[in-house]
Amino acid sequence: MSKLHRCIVIGASAGGVEALKQVAAGLPGDLAVPVFVVLHISPWSPSLLTEILGNVCPLPVCCPQDGEEIRGGAVYVASPDHHLLIEGGKVGVKRGPKENGFRPSIDALFRSAAYTCGAGAVGVVLSGALHDGTSGLWSIKQLGGTAVVQHPDEAQFDSMPLSALEYVAPDYLLPASEMGTLLGRLAAEPLPAPAPIGPDAEKLLAAEVAVAAGEVAIRQGIMEMGTLTPFTCPECHGTLTRIGDGPLSRFRCHTGHAYTDSALLAAVMDSTGEMIWQVVRSLEEGIMLLSGRGTSLKEAGDPVRAEIFLSRARLLEQQSKTFQKAAVEHGRTGTDNGGQKSES
């Protein structure tokens, strides 16, 4: 299998379509390196991103098949509910575990680029919420690659660019409209010198790329590559291991699901909210059953027994109101603006 030496990988989430269009429109028509794009999209709906970018990009744009040979000058777009990976000289389209609740994952693509291309990888973080892309961009920089970040002031959702800037020193910070020209220039430059990487870091990177491709995390030794925590995975309830990417802390479970601190908090808050509403549902079902039984006894001429059931229904009703209030307050506590800049 031929090895890819240079690639451009781009990640976007909320508010990222317009930014991607600007980047794609600015790419040179004679670009010789492949471009890989991950946008967080619904797993249940077909993606229109290939058509959207194809209308403005001078290069061919496609959703690749697993195992497809990588062609220079092509733009590969991730399919819904599949990770997009670089595997030597071929494209990987895999259904490995979700990262930060997403599949496709920006981090998974970026790590595969770092692992395959080393210093020849160029990572681009665009508009989006939370932290996806930061860990992968950190890996690209660790191996000598180039980090490009959309300026937060012009990103519709600035959380992803701000997160990248917090943990990774970017080589370029600029508007999306200027990135196409920059990427064309970077692709034409000589390959940067490779950066040394320690054996433990290389082993972890290889393992995480394999997990994204569908390999079982525990068999890749993930649990021994970090520190065990008392936390459990919101997705599968497996034990979470804390992994460090320099100053960035992440979590991965033994089946492979991965989270940043903020993504784990969001998932835990969502899970807690769901459990509270399940209690409310159970209490409301009890109220209906007790009220129905009490009404039937009252109509049958047994008011004493009827009152026993009706009083229990009233007690459950008070409990239900308490839990409903808790659920509403919990929802307010766990809700923010999703990384979108305020209008104030």
In this structure, what is the dihedral angle of CA atoms 309, 312, 317, 318, given to the nearest 10 degrees?
A: 160
Q: Which residues, at least 6 apart from 81, have a Cβ–Cβ distance to it below 8 Å? A: 43, 44, 95, 103, 104
The answer to whether residue 132 is catalytic is yes
Which residue in the list 40, 82, 254, 257 is annotated as catalytic? 40
Q: How far apart are CA 249 and CA 244, in angstroms?
A: 5
| Active-site residue, 135 included | no
Task: List alpha helices for 55-105, DSSP H.
Answer: none
H or E element that contains 7: strand 7-12
Residue tagged 């937060």 (tokens): 152
103 contacts: CB under 8 Å, gap ≥ 6: 43, 81, 82, 83, 95, 96, 97
Catalytic residue among 13, 135, 159, 320: 13
261 in active site = no
Rounded to an integer, what distance in angstroms lies between the CA atom of residue 165 and that of residue 184? 23
Q: How far apart are CA 247 and CA 123, in angstroms?
A: 19
Closest alpha carbon to 290 in 318, 264, 263, 268: 318
CB under 8 Å to 190, separation ≥6 — which residues? none
Q: What is the DSSP string of 103-128?
A: SS-HHHHHHHHHHHHGGGEEEEE-S-
Of the candidates 107, 132, 158, 245, the residue annotated as catalytic is 132
Residues recognised as catalytic: 13, 40, 132
